[in-house]
Amino acid sequence: MSTSVQRFAFATLLPICILAPGQALAGYREETHATSIEIAQLPQFCLAQFEVPGAEGDEFKITNCGWSMNHYCPGLIYFIRGRTSTNKAAAVSNLQHADVDVAYTEHGMADYPNCPIRKHVQDTREELNRLLRLRGLKPMAGK
């Protein structure tokens, strides 16, 4: 395939991949039914996990953090939904799902003190705990 044909194919398919509904894409997009707007709110290190086109380098992945990192980015999708939902029941359900995923991540990275996303996980835990307590719920971890 010539370079110009490859560029045309890439330019044509990129917007389709970005704007396609989550159900049309594989992996975590399908599992979480993540929208493009939700994925755009994720940190850069989640983009490979959600198969964003062009997100192939190490800066788009979670590395050196342990065995449970595959739960953190999907947990962030539920966290985003819990934070933004105007429906109280949906907000609570999403925050509880995020709580489980973040707790699993925290447990898995416990033996990795140099994990580069540790601060991000801690900040997410603090905000998640605050939102859960506002709704009268007890978080799985943290203060």
Percentage of residues in the chain having pLDDT higher than 90: 64
Identity of the residue numbered 113 = P
> pTM here?
0.78
Rounded-to-integer distance, Cα 104 and Cα 139, Å: 13
Q: Which two tokens stand for residue 133?
A: 């307590």
pLDDT for residue 33: 82
Q: Which two tokens stand for residue 20?
A: 């396609």
Q: Using the predicted structure, report yes or no on whether residue 50 has a pLDDT greater than 70.
A: yes
Phi, psi values for residue 95, rounded to 5°: -65, -40
